[in-house]
Amino acid sequence: MGANNISVVSSLFVFSIMFLSISSALHTAGTRRKQYTPCKNMVVFFHDIVYNGENAGNATAAIVAAPQGSNLTILAPQNHFGNIVVFDDPVTLDNNLQSEAVGRAQGFYLYDRKNTFTAWLGFSFVFNSTYHKGTINLAGADPALNKTRDISVIGGTGDFFMHRGIATLMTDAVEGDVYFRLRVDINFYECW
Amino acid sequence: MGANNISVVSSLFVFSIMFLSISSALHTAGTRRKQYTPCKNMVVFFHDIVYNGENAGNATAAIVAAPQGSNLTILAPQNHFGNIVVFDDPVTLDNNLQSEAVGRAQGFYLYDRKNTFTAWLGFSFVFNSTYHKGTINLAGADPALNKTRDISVIGGTGDFFMHRGIATLMTDAVEGDVYFRLRVDINFYECW
Amino acid sequence: MGANNISVVSSLFVFSIMFLSISSALHTAGTRRKQYTPCKNMVVFFHDIVYNGENAGNATAAIVAAPQGSNLTILAPQNHFGNIVVFDDPVTLDNNLQSEAVGRAQGFYLYDRKNTFTAWLGFSFVFNSTYHKGTINLAGADPALNKTRDISVIGGTGDFFMHRGIATLMTDAVEGDVYFRLRVDINFYECW
């Protein structure tokens, strides 16, 4: 039985190595899905020019709903609570409104808090250029006065087929009630 | 060859055990993603007080859009078809409006059916307390007269990074057109 | 040691086979998640009849928000930019409005571009029939003049528990500003 024992010991040794590799493979597989290192990331800027009754030519967004007593050319009192704004904003790769747009940010935001600036966003980045073809769909809460705010990438199409992830919003500039610019760091954790 | 045979048999025995553990590990990995047992769950309540023109002080929600012929202080006829309501509601851990709020429910709902009460919701639970830090983003159809209604958790941030799941809504109280309270059982099936 | 060597070789041979099966199992698991062949697919049609002030009886959708200067019975100028439409549309399995509805499409769309027809959709397919029970939740950009447009299936409930995928929209008919019909090819890539 001596030979067998040695054989079993040898086998167990090889088993152990194998088991480690398999565990490691399993772990890698797990890590690939659950890792906190993005499988893809990108930074874009978008520029929102709200229609105020006098800037029809270059406005990219319009107030389309407001609470009782408000109108559609001035953002509502109480931190704009209740305003819904529809937008079609140019997306650029740097913070310059004049840079070539690589896509559009299209959808809506609504102001949902009376005692501070908080918005809720549902929109898409739509790309149809050499930069990218496809869409990234996003939704989430935007406590606009925080330095950074995380919303969800809830899906994507084309180059972003089935992607999910987190988009971090940062206010890059605000000019009165008419113009703001957001920097968006998009980290995809499911890339397909 | 007798020794070898025994050795191979021993080896196979160990293999079998190993294989079972590995299968089991694989199965667990699969199960973890696809199991119908949640990886995390929570129960919260939220309280919606609709502005009716006279309750500006404690209203947490406002009608901001309505079909032609309706106004913004009375919910529309035909089961409120066409009303969009923006809300910022306190979230509590029990069914008492006076309990300490552990977070906010922020977003919108719209009534989308003429012959019964049916809503569509897009909103977030926003937590920034010792209870939780992070957001849970939700969307889905709410046939409000059903005892329970399932909507989707479409993403999350912070404590709920990349989570997905199902939120089951139950109407816990209704007081006229002004106040309602929902109980929400959230079951996450993807937890990361 | 000859016997042991043979034993180890035999063992390694069995290991190799095992390892291959395990690799293959792992690979299959990976493929199952990331494959571009849908795990389930379906084709439905939905029919949208916009309220124009005169068709209250059979309208299934109503304009509920509009930019300044527009009204709620005529779609806005500039490609309807800023209109939000709430809908509760019948869903059929063929392109005939008179066919039996197997479900409803409920939610909203908004027109978000001044110089062409582009919409953003947030809605659910709600099934409660022998065809299916459950909901499919969708969101995304709809550049309506393109032959096909992809939006995201961001979640599902009931028969579509936790599903994700892509819905491809095709305009099947348009009659003035009042009626349109969309064909929707839904491909699920995560089925649970």
Question: What residues in chain A have per-residue pLDDT under 50?
Answer: 1-3, 8-9, 12-34
Mean local confidence (pLDDT), B137-165: 96
Q: If pLDDT is split at 50, 70 and 90, which confidence band does B41 have?
A: very high
Give the distance between the most distant pair of CA atoms in chain C.
Answer: 96
Tokens of C142: 């709809």
Give the C-alpha separation, C133 to A172, whole Å. Answer: 46
Task: Say if A112 is an interface residue toward chain B (CB within 8 Å).
Answer: yes
Tell me the three state secondary structure of residue A10.
helix
Per-window interface: C 145-184 vs A, CB < 8 A: 150-154, 164-166
Q: pLDDT under 50 in chain C at which residues?
A: 1-3, 8-9, 12, 14-34
B186 touching chain C per CB within 8 A: no
DSSP classification of residue B101: P
DSSP B39-82: SEEEEEEEEEEB--SS-TTT--EEEEE--TT--SSS--HHHHTT
Q: What is the pLDDT of residue C4?
A: 52
CA gap B182, B95 in Å, rounded = 9
Q: Do C106 and B141 touch (CB under 8 A)?
A: yes
> What is the predicted pLDDT for the residue at A110?
94
Determine the pLDDT at residue C11: 54
The answer to whether residue B28 scores a pLDDT higher than 60 is: no
Which chain C residues touch B26 with a CB distance below 8 Å?
22, 25-26, 29
Of the candidates B113, B139, B153, the beta carbon closest to that of C122 is on: B139
What is the predicted pLDDT for the residue at C132? 95
Q: Is A78 on the interface with C (CB under 8 A)?
A: no
Collapsing DSSP to helix, strand or coil, C27 comes out as helix
- The answer to whether the CB of C71 falls within 8 A of the CB of B68 is yes
CB B90 within 8 A of CB B60: yes
pLDDT in tens, C40-70: 999 999 999 999 888 988 999 999 998 887 8
Subunit contact C162:B190, Cβ cutoff 8 A: yes
Take residue A129 and report the two structure tokens written for it: 């250029």
Residue in B65, B88, B123 closest to A84 by CB: B65
Average pLDDT, chain B: 84
Mutate to test the interface with B, among A28, A34, A35, A112 (most CBs of B within 10 A): A112
Distance (Å) from the alpha carbon of C177 to chain B's nearest alpha carbon? 16
pLDDT one-digit tens code per residue, B109-129: 999 888 888 999 999 999 999
Q: How do residues C86-95 score in pLDDT, each as one tens digit?
A: 999 999 999 9
Say if the Cβ atoms of A86 and C66 lie within 8 Å.
no
Cα B42 from Cα A48, distance rounded (Å)? 37
Predicted complex ipTM: 0.80
Say if residues B63 and B75 touch (Cβ distance below 8 Å).
yes
Residue B26 has pLDDT above 70, yes or no: no
In this prediction, residue C121 carries a pLDDT of 97
How many C-beta neighbours within 10 Å does residue A65 have? 29
Q: What is the pLDDT of residue A36?
A: 82
Q: Looking at CA atoms only, how far is residue A141 from chain B in angstroms?
A: 6
pLDDT recorded at residue B78: 79
Q: Which of B18, B158, B192 sits opposite A34 (nearest CB)?
A: B192
Per-residue pLDDT band for B80 (boundaries 50, 70, 90) equals: confident
Instruction: Pull the structure tokens for residue B86.
Output: 């923006």
Which pLDDT belongs to residue C7? 54
User: What average pLDDT score do residues B65-73 get?
Assistant: 83
Q: Phi-psi category of A59—alpha, beta or left, where left has phi over 0 and alpha has psi -120 to 50? A: beta
| CA angle, residues C51, C54, C57, in degrees to nearest 5 | 70
**What separation, in Å, do the N-terminal and C-terminal C-alpha atoms of chain C show?**
52
Q: How far apart are CA B144 and CA A13, in angstroms?
A: 62
Beta partners for residue C41, in sequence order: C187
Instruction: Summarize the confidence of residues B42-54 as an average pLDDT.
Output: 94
Nearest CA among A80, C139, A145, C108 for reference residue B88: A80
Nearest to C190 by CA among B33, A117, B5, B1: B33
Say yes or no: A64 contacts chain C, CB-CB below 8 A: yes
Q: How far apart are CA A183 and CA C175, in angstroms?
A: 41
Judge whether A46 is closer than 8 Å to chain C, CB to CB.
Answer: no
- Looking at residue A11, its pLDDT comes to 53
